[in-house]
Amino acid sequence: MSTAGTPDTGPAVVTLTMNPALDLCWEVERLQGIGKNRARVRSVAVGGGGINVARHIVRFGGRATAVHTAGGEVGLRLNRLLDEEGIDHVAVDIDDDTREALVLVETATHRSYHIVPSGPHLREREGRRCLELLERLAGACPYVVVSGSLPPGLPDDYYAAVARHVREAGSRLILDTSGPALRAALAEGVFLFRCNRTEAESLTGRAVSGFDEARALNEHLLTSGSAEIAVTTLGALGALCSTRHGHTELYTPPLPGEPLSDAGAGDSMVAALTAELAAGEDPVAACALGVATAAAAMLTPSTEPFDVDVALALRSQVKTTSG
């Protein structure tokens, strides 16, 4: 496990995962309502928004450290698996057990079901330790990614406190979360905010199905000071990237195969986008790789990682319109 970096040797990106999970992936031919369903263990992997983002940033050739909680026997196994995978990470010990999630794949239909419990209850002191560690690491890197849900026990304004700590450390916060924690963090202000249609609708109170609705939301986020860059994803349609220089529509490229799952598309997009920003790319170019990577993730079953070569090949097929 990592401890701390320096401006010269440390990670370009630090990610925060307050509620990671051990993802157990099983597969059955067809799910039956009567009798036993004989399953095959397909994989056991560490999941959670920030951990996934760190994993994929490294796959794109970047440098990242994942900060995460870990508790109980599941937490010990989670740490061991991250070590074996070679992911640079720092664990914050908690009293309760880290959650386990189940990904069930039905091979006959290519359907997958992601069953996720709410997670362990975190104490105030545990949340405070995460903040102190994050602030120390953020001072040595330009970008911090906060991705995933808040576990029970932490206040709704926890990510708002994270935003303040990151800003005071001189780093830029990229936010990808939902619910009350999202609203509180946006009230504090972040560098970049990515949301999907469900999260966008929770902010606007109405359907966000196309670029016009996304443009209205992004414009509000920019003018209110909630974000310097707003990215709203629109499923198979693509995404809208908005900055003070204007709005850019990015269209999902044609898929070279059958879409199998969208489970990892969001984290994959954030990872590609962040890796490009850390490498010095402008937001629109970074978002183009993000859209291509989300498309590549759709080609993989359940939560399996996307093919980097496919993502890079699809990037040139992402069409854009500025306005």
Cα 85 to the center of its chain, rounded Å: 18
What is the per-residue pLDDT for 1? Answer: 39
22-34 core/surface letters (b: 16 or more CB in 10 A; e: else): bbbbbbeeeeeee
Euclidean distance between the first and the last CA atom of the chain, given in angstroms as a whole number: 45
pLDDT of residue 264: 84
Q: Counting Cβ atoms within 10 Å, is residue 92 exposed (0-12), middle (13-18) or buried (19+)?
A: buried
Sorted by sequence, the CB contacts under 8 Å of residue 127 that are 6+ apart come out as 18, 153, 154, 158
- Residues of the chain scoring pLDDT < 50: 1-8
The predicted model scores a pTM of 0.92
pLDDT in tens, 154-179: 999 999 999 999 999 999 999 999 99
Percentages helix, strand, coil for the chain (3-state, rounded to 5) are 35, 25, 35
Residue 212 tokens, joined = 């016009």
Angle 90-95-100 (CA atoms, 0-180°, nearest 5)? 75
User: Rounded to whole angstroms, how far apart are CA atoms 6 and 17?
Assistant: 21
Closest CA relative to residue 196, chosen from 209, 212, 180: 209
From 23, 88, 267, 309, active-site residue = 267
Share of the chain above pLDDT 90, in %: 85
Task: Please give the C-alpha separations between residue 150 and each of 13, 120, 133, 263, 309, in angstroms, as whole numbers.
Answer: 20, 10, 17, 19, 33
CATH fold of 13-322, please? UDP-N-acetylmuramoyl-L-alanine:D-glutamate ligase (3.40.1190)
The question of whether 267 is a catalytic residue gets the answer yes
Please report, for residues 141, 305, 306, the alpha-carbon distance to residue 254 in angstroms, rounded to integers and kept in the order given.
Answer: 36, 19, 16
Amino acid 10: pLDDT: 53
Token digits for 168? 């005071």
pLDDT tens digits, 274-305 = 999 999 999 999 999 999 999 999 998 777 78
pLDDT given for residue 74 in this prediction: 98
Q: Count how many Cα atoms sit within 13 Å of the Cα of residue 37 in the half-sphere of its side chain.
A: 16
Rounded distance, CA 251 to CA 194, Å? 16
* Token pair listed for 58: 């490294």
